[in-house]
Structure 1
Amino acid sequence: MNDIFSVLPDLGNFLVGYVTLTGVCSLRLFMVMFIFPPTADGLLQGVVRNAIVVLFSSYIAYGQPIAFIQTLRGITLIEVGLREALIGVALGYAASIVFWVAEGAGTYIDDLTGYNNVQVMNPSRSEQATPTATLLMQIASVAFWALGGMTFLLGTLYESYHWWPLTSSGPSMSNVLESFVLQQTDSLMQTIAKLAAPMMFILLLIDFGFGFASKSASKLDLMTLSQPVKGAVTVLMLALFVGVFVDQVKEQITLSGLTAEMRALSGGHQGKPD
């Protein structure tokens, strides 16, 4: 009996260490799911999302060496936690680009049609957005789940532990994040412009047409008719545009190329153990 009680303190320390390790391993996936629009608060509530994070992160914690658990103290714990959170932010940012592109293109279209003052509740993020932006965001989110994008997202997450293990210091975070943010921000704005350009061009032609018509018939206030016409044309174009959008960005929505992108970001670097 005394031997059993003498083992209990060691068992308690082991359980505390394993819970700490599981929490550290959960940071990477938690940050991804916190940023990623299809797994935002409006779609996955906090308790459900946290349970999913702990479930999939427990496999990572199970594969860590016992010696690493003993090093999770003080400054080392803070350093590893911050590093894991930053890696999760990078993964979540890269995975969310195509969804922000869809929302940004919808906002551009609503600005040009004159419906930017109409705000509806975006159910995926519990905030207000323009109607077309909300529609395109929801279409992208549905396509992500329907096309099996979560499988690729988890594959990229687990692959990230291969090129940047939990026990490795990895490359310089400041240099990686600086180049990553600049590259992804440029790509985001360029893709929004390219995606919205065809519809914006047609809507501008409608504005020019009504402008010339109202100039030749000055007694008729034709410009007041341009907004409903642009709204009707936008609805018609969206009906044709949605299928093309999903087909063109299918690879980005399902995140099938995210693994290679993040591996290139790390420079194929295999971090040396701390």
Structure 2
Amino acid sequence: MNAIVQGFPIFLLIFCRITAFFVVVPVFSSRGVPNVFKIGFGFFISFIVFLTYGMKQTIVPDAEYVLILFREILVGVLMGYVVYLFFAVVQTAGAFMDLQVGFAMANIVDPHTGTSAPLLGNFKYMLIIIIFLMMNGHHFLITGLMDSYKWMPLSNELFSRLMSGSVTDFLTRLIGNTFLLAIQVAAPLIVAMFLTDVGLGFLTKTAPQFNVFVIGIPLKLIIGMILLVLLMPSLAGIFERLFSIMFGALEQLFGIVLGPPPEGQ
């Protein structure tokens, strides 16, 4: 009984980090995953981490314990948010594509978030989840979450890194990089649609009797769908590179939180 009483504060800290991660990270945070499963799975992973790591830790549940609890929740949210940004790349790229092809008005409700989502973005989001699961990416995520205690132990310096601006700078750069990645994913179709618009512009000048609006909309739709089919085989390689960058970003986050504080801090 004493072991349970002494170990419960440590287990609660572990449970808070892991549950916060599952609440934010894609796939696990989907509305299609029952809340009972999320809590139960988080409890199971927390128990394993507690047996392998938490049993060696000691903590005094005093007034500072509440801050440590909040810090662990923040760590889990940060890790999940980094992963979420890379899944959002395909939705952003899909929004760019929809705008060019003409699907922007045909937005649908995303079953994962309950919000309006671009048609091609939602399709690519479902595709990246399938590829992610086929590549056992969820296994790597869980392994990385469990190994995060080697990089960011319960006695981590997250608050001092937040005060120094290191984490904020990292997230700012990461958001900018993911936006550039979204443009790169959508670039082939955006360029093709731009050239189509240029061609339609020349057609208007050379043959003004043609109604460019009547011709342009179905033409861009057909060209966009053909390009999408042609680009489908390359999406697996693009997503694989995206996952590699994502796990590298998680390692950078671990290094920032664990690394030495800046001079003068």
Which bin holds the TM-score, normalised by the shorter protein?
Answer: 0.7 to 0.9
TM-score by length of 1: 0.83
Query: Is 1:214 paired with 2:204?
Result: yes
200 and 67 in structure 1: CA distance in 2 versus 1, 3 angstrom threshold: closer
| Equivalence map 1:1-274=2 (5 Å) | 11=1, 15=4, 18-62=7-51, 63-65=53-55, 68-69=58-59, 71-73=60-62, 75-169=63-157, 172-174=160-162, 175-253=165-243, 256-257=247-248, 260-266=251-257, 268=259
User: Normalized against structure 2, the TM-score is what?
Assistant: 0.86
Aligned 8 A contact 1:112 1:200 in 2: yes
**What number of residue pairs does the alignment pair up?**
257
Give the AA of the match of 1:206.
Answer: T
Kindly report the root-mean-square deviation, in angstroms, between the aligned alpha carbons of the 2 structures: 2.5
Is the CA contact 1:42–1:124 (under 8 Å) kept in the aligned structure 2? yes
Residue 141 of structure 1 and its aligned partner are, at CA, apart by 0.8
Aligned 8 A contact 1:171 1:269 in 2: no
TM-superposed deviation, 1:191 = 0.9
Alpha carbons 1:112, 1:203 under 8 Å: kept: yes
* Residues 85-139 of structure 1, C-alpha deviations (whole Å, 9 max, x = no match): 2211221122223211111000011012222111212122222211101011111
Contact 1:163 1:268 in 2 (8 A): no
Q: How far did residue 31 of structure 1 move?
A: 2.3
Question: Which is greater in Rg?
Answer: 1
Contact in 1 for aligned 2:16/2:72 (Cα 8 Å)? yes
Taking the aligned partners of 2:125 and 2:97, their CA distance within structure 1 comes to: 13
State the 1:14 CA deviation.
5.7
Change in Cα spacing, 1:144 to 1:43, as seen in structure 2 (3 Å) is farther
2-structure distance, mates of 1:172, 1:259: 19
Q: Secondary structure at the match of 1:37?
A: coil
| Change over 3 Å in CA distance of 1:259–1:202 after alignment to 2 | same
Secondary structure, aligned partner of 2:109: strand
Distance 1:40 1:171, change over 3 A: closer
Measure the CA separation in 1 of the matches of 2:150 and 2:48: 14
Q: Specify every segment of 5 or more residues in structure 1 that has no aligned partner in the other structure, as ranges.
A: 1-10
Q: Return the alpha-carbon distance in structure 2 between the equivalents of residues 60 and 84 of structure 1.
A: 14
Q: Which runs of 4+ in 1 moved over 6 A?
A: none
Query: Cα distance, 1:65 vs. partner?
Result: 4.4
Identical aligned residues as a percent: 19
Q: Distance in 2 between matches of 1:67 and 1:138?
A: 40
